Structure 1
Amino acid sequence: MGKIIAIANQKGGVGKTTTSVNLAASLGVLEKKVLLIDADPQANATSGLGIDVEGVDIGTYQLLEHTKKPEDAIVSCDSPNVDLIPAHIDLVAIEIELVDKEEREYMLKKAIDHLKSKYDYILIDCAPSLGLLTLNALTAADSVIIPIQCEYFALEGLGKLLNTIKSVQKIHNSNLDIEGLLLTMYDSRLRLSNQVVEEVQKHFSDMVFKTIIQRNVRLSEAPSYGESIINYDAGSKGAANYLNLAHEVINKNA
């Protein structure tokens, strides 16, 4: 049975999509079968894997509406062993459309649950909000990875997210686990970066991944070429970081 992992943080710009795309690619290279679901209306994970967002006819939106099966939405990518369910800007409307539906928090879970037998890992790239989209992802997931950038406001909002996770555990998904907190955008030259790492490790010790994602120019460039860091520059520091993270995730779930 595969594992569904949501990658969530309501703050924007913390490295959610970068992590989703590159963790998926790294797990794929390590011969795990991976499905990445783009659940963010900005559709950056879709374009980051080289799929033309404008050309997306069937994606996460249709999945949540239950008008199409996930099998109809799955596209294969250049990354080995990685499939994608893409997003389109129309996903913006889903929050409004689901509001009066019964069991609206379970739409994604119902759509993808049966896929666990076909993949080792299903990753969900969440939107930077705590709305219905993210709630659907957390209800469908077995665990959640929370990226935290090594910057001044890093811990602000983390409490809010942890409270949301607690209430999801209480009401919708008692099995939801925290896979780990992932420190991103780390710059060893900055005192602030080091302070944030110390703070997070002090408060959340066992919950923090040993792997820290460092600031890396190649990592920032890769999405503009529609490639994961593994395809774009496998020898870069960014690729090494994400491969380490993939090993950590695999070992943790062994």
Structure 2
Amino acid sequence: MAAQQPRPSATKRAFDEETPLAREIADLTRRRQQLAADALPMPKSTRIFTVANQKGGVGKTTTTVNLAAALARAGARVLVIDLDPQGNASTALGVEHRSETVSVYDVIINDVPVAEAIQKSPEFAALYCVPATIHLAGAEIELVSLVAREQRLRRALDTFLDESPEPFHFVFIDCPPSLGLLTINAFVAAREVLIPIQCEYYALEGLSQLLKNIELIEKHLNPTLSVSTILLTMYDGRTNLANQVAQDVRDHFPSEVLNAVIPRSVRISEAPSYGQTVISYDTNSPGSISYLEAAAEIARRGAPA
């Protein structure tokens, strides 16, 4: 009787080219190599994005900090302005934002120069943040009585960029999930709007209203504003729903939607609890690679004409 051949080990089977795990590893390796091979073009003038969606829980802050970190990793000088009173972007970038910290509140309300509020993030050498503190929660009320209340962030930011000894390539403004004076300040300060949309039911809910609001701001307050970028987040390719939502969004916005999509990822969710972005927390994870790809696509597309 012939001796029974030993069965291949679980490890060997896992890395057999026919297994889903092996295909995923091979795909991630290919994507990493492609990202490493290409140098990103840097814009000739600063590109200023407001990352906005009136619907909560769409990955707005996560998208802000990870795109910023991905571009900084690629060699860009990047500034994140945390305009959300929760201060989650400040936490994720590892910068100080206790109540006594000089913050974006002081910039908007007290005319403190941006240069006095800016902090360097420990994430990357060329990544900076203007943090948010708890004081920002009352800024909506205080802004009402101020002169040029919708223009205050733009004036401060433009002055800072004009006077900065080294140019910034990208600025990302993380705003609250509501249309108040803080969000209006963000729209007026920006030139481009980036909208994260989650690949889930009701994904497009409220989007038409957001676009109408952007149109009003473009008409009355900031004629240079445009929706340049839409990023699909929380994507799970195993579900029909995610694929259908992604197709619906691409059908509605064929030129604005990035090819890169951000998957649902435990690593992306874990990173902020360590005061990090997923780019530095787990560089080789699928979530990190997806944000690196999205950042590269934004850089290559360039600003809208």
CA offset at residue 78 of structure 1?
1.3
Aligned to 1:120: 169
SS of the residue corresponding to residue 147 of structure 2 reads coil
Matches within 5 A, 1:101-250: 101-117=146-162, 118-250=167-299
Q: Which runs of 5+ in 1 are unaligned?
A: none
Larger radius of gyration: 2
State the Cα deviation string for residues 128-164 of structure 1 (Å, max 9, x = none). Answer: 1011111000000010100001111110000010001
CA offset at residue 56 of structure 1?
5.0
SS of the residue corresponding to residue 261 of structure 2 reads strand
Aligned to 2:98: 54
Equivalent position amino acid for 2:212 in 1: N
SS of the residue corresponding to residue 234 of structure 1 reads coil
Equivalent position amino acid for 1:46 in 2: S
Alpha-carbon distance in structure 2 between the residues aligned to 1:56 and 1:137: 23
Q: Which of 90, 99, 109 lines up with 2:135 in the alignment?
A: 90
SS of the residue corresponding to residue 205 of structure 1 reads coil
Aligned to 1:12: 56
Alpha-carbon distance in structure 1 between the residues aligned to 2:90 and 2:226: 26
Equivalent position amino acid for 1:147 in 2: P
Contact 2:95 2:129 in 1 (8 A): no
Alpha-carbon distance in structure 2 between the residues aligned to 1:122 and 1:73: 15
Equivalent position amino acid for 1:216 in 2: S
Alpha-carbon distance in structure 2 between the residues aligned to 1:61 and 1:186: 34
SS of the residue corresponding to residue 64 of structure 1 reads helix
Equivalent position amino acid for 1:50 in 2: G
RCO (CA 8 Å, sep 6+): is it higher in 1 or 2?
1
Alpha-carbon distance in structure 2 between the residues aligned to 1:56 and 1:38: 16
| Identity value in percent | 46
SS of the residue corresponding to residue 195 of structure 2 reads strand
Matched positions, count:
254
CA offset at residue 219 of structure 1?
0.5
Contact 2:67 2:295 in 1 (8 A): yes
- TM-score between both structures, scaled by the size of structure 2: 0.81
SS of the residue corresponding to residue 181 of structure 1 reads strand
Q: Which of 145, 152, 163 lines up with 1:100 in the alignment?
A: 145
Alpha-carbon distance in structure 2 between the residues aligned to 1:71 and 1:52: 15
CA RMSD of superposed structures (Å) = 1.2
SS of the residue corresponding to residue 84 of structure 1 reads strand
State the Cα deviation string for residues 95-133 of structure 1 (Å, max 9, x = none). Answer: 100112222110100110133353100110111101111
Alpha-carbon distance change, 25 to 56 in structure 1, aligned in 2, over 3 angstroms: farther
Alpha-carbon distance in structure 2 between the residues aligned to 1:223 and 1:30: 21
Q: Which runs of 5+ in 2 are unaligned?
A: 1-44
